Amino acid sequence: MIVSCKKEGINSIVQSALRGISSKVTIPILTGVLINAERNRLVISSTDLEMSVRAEMDAEVPESGATVVSGRLMGDILKNLRSADVKIESSEKYLTVKSDEGEYRIREMMPEDFPKIPQWEGELVLKAGGGEFLMAVQQTSKASSSDEKRPVLTGTLLEKEVGDGKIRMVSTDSYRLALKELEVTGELTKWEDCIIPTRALNEVARLAGSSDADVEIKMQDKQMMFRVDNLVVSSRLIEGQFPNYRQLLPKGEKTKVKVDREEIIAAIKRSLIFGHNLRFGVYGDHVRITTETPEVGDSKEEVAAEVEGEELEIGFNGVYMMDGVTAVESEKVEIRMDEAQKPAVLGNDGSASYKYVLMPVRLR
């Protein structure tokens, strides 16, 4: 294999492919990136058996071929080169990277041992704006669980809303729930609701955030696949029954509050210095946030608010509340509450496309 290409281009696709390599991997071949070169196209792939990343670019390919080398070494070499052009050659069990600075040899692994990477085939099913997709993932991903003992909760439900041309992203760790409606184009009637690992969505969002391109979405061979420009991310689906989230959505409210987003974020941030559990009090024209940790100290802040309904005191996990508030897009955060023992709903002012349901905590 012989390939000549721009350093900036190959470095970009290798760094993208590295996102598909898990830090927990113990199988040597999975620490590598698969390099395929043919027909003036260079393709770099990686996988951890649950998620794979495939990135490609144009290149001069005098001699086609395939090999596998350490992803970390390949990435470290490329990002530290200053040359505009590089040449890579595979021969005698080594991949050689040549540049103006010098030559660097990396021991090869057998490409035949590398797992098969899903290929994007056929027509796309759905398409979403890259910026909108990024926002939807950012608003829902933090509510996912990291507890591998409950795999369903480590994923995000992607559910169709056929009549509205939208899909819903829903995630929960049982302490909070985040829901976002995402506008899409395409054949929603062919869509099958599924649970996808939140980690995979985060990687797609990261790639979408660095591009102006749309995100193309399809299900293929029991894999969820996403394409952004020259990148394809595929992920296994999580088997199991996602919680009936509709039962978790509060049905009524006795109190509604609208508060400036930046002011409430700053107040929560300062309050968290003294403890994670916040007492959130709602009064005639303001909200009061207090925290108390006997061995540390206490704090009290008041923030002006528009209040409708009854006065109320309720306890929240401050970290979880901060996640919900920072995900709000509007200038004001809308908070709907019923009773101190029932969950509250945070969202955008004047829009129901994003909901963040937060369970209360008991206060001493």
Same domain? For 239 and 262 the reply is: no
| pLDDT tens, residue by residue, 81-129 | 999 999 999 988 999 999 999 999 999 999 999 999 998 887 778 999 9
Last residue in a domain, options 245, 276, 295: 245
Is residue 12, in this structure, part of any structural domain at all?
A: yes
In this prediction, residue 164 carries a pLDDT of 77
Going by C-alpha positions, the residue among 301, 305, 252, 262 that lies closest to residue 282 is 305
Is residue 326, in this structure, part of any structural domain at all?
A: yes
| pLDDT tens, residue by residue, 14-31 | 999 999 999 888 899 999
Same domain? For 241 and 253 the reply is: no
Same domain? For 63 and 153 the reply is: no
Residue with tokens 């098969």, as numbered in its chain: 116
Same domain? For 216 and 164 the reply is: yes
Same domain? For 255 and 352 the reply is: yes
| H-only helix segments in 58-197 | 71-79, 130-140
Where does residue 20 rank: exposed (0-12), middle (13-18), buried (19+ CB within 10 A)?
buried
Last residue in a domain, options 217, 245, 273: 245
Output Rg (C-alpha) for the chain, integer angstroms. Answer: 24
CATH of the domain at 108: 3.10.150.10
Is residue 233, in this structure, part of any structural domain at all?
A: yes
The residue type of 196 is I
Last residue in a domain, options 245, 271, 300: 245
Task: Supply 352's token pair.
Answer: 């129901």
Provide the residue range defining the domain that includes 227: 126-245
Is residue 175, in this structure, part of any structural domain at all?
A: yes
The DSSP symbol for 276 reads S
Is residue 363, in this structure, part of any structural domain at all?
A: no
In this prediction, residues 338-360 reach a mean pLDDT of: 95
Residue with tokens 């490409």, as numbered in its chain: 111
Is residue 120, in this structure, part of any structural domain at all?
A: no
Same domain? For 98 and 143 the reply is: no
**Neighbouring-strand partners of residue 58:** 41
The residue type of 2 is I
The residue type of 330 is S
| Residues 21-43: b if buried by 16+ CB within 10 A, e if exposed | bbeeeeeebbbbbbbbbeeeebb
Same domain? For 163 and 216 the reply is: yes
Same domain? For 90 and 18 the reply is: yes
Work out the mean pLDDT of the chain and round it to a whole number.
Answer: 94
**pLDDT above 90 (res 177):** yes
The DSSP symbol for 123 reads -
Task: Supply 255's token pair.
Answer: 């109190």
Q: What's the structural domain count of the chain?
A: 3
**pLDDT above 80 (res 160):** yes
Is residue 364, in this structure, part of any structural domain at all?
A: no
The residue type of 312 is L
Task: Supply 178's token pair.
Answer: 């985040």
Distance (Å, rounded) from C-alpha 239 to C-alpha 242? Answer: 9
Same domain? For 227 and 263 the reply is: no
In this prediction, residue 138 carries a pLDDT of 95
In this prediction, residue 258 carries a pLDDT of 98
Same domain? For 101 and 150 the reply is: no
| pLDDT tens, residue by residue, 194-241 | 999 999 999 999 887 777 789 999 988 889 999 999 999 999 999 999
Going by C-alpha positions, the residue among 137, 135, 142 that lies closest to residue 173 is 142
pTM here is 0.91
End-to-end Cα separation, the chain, in angstroms: 68
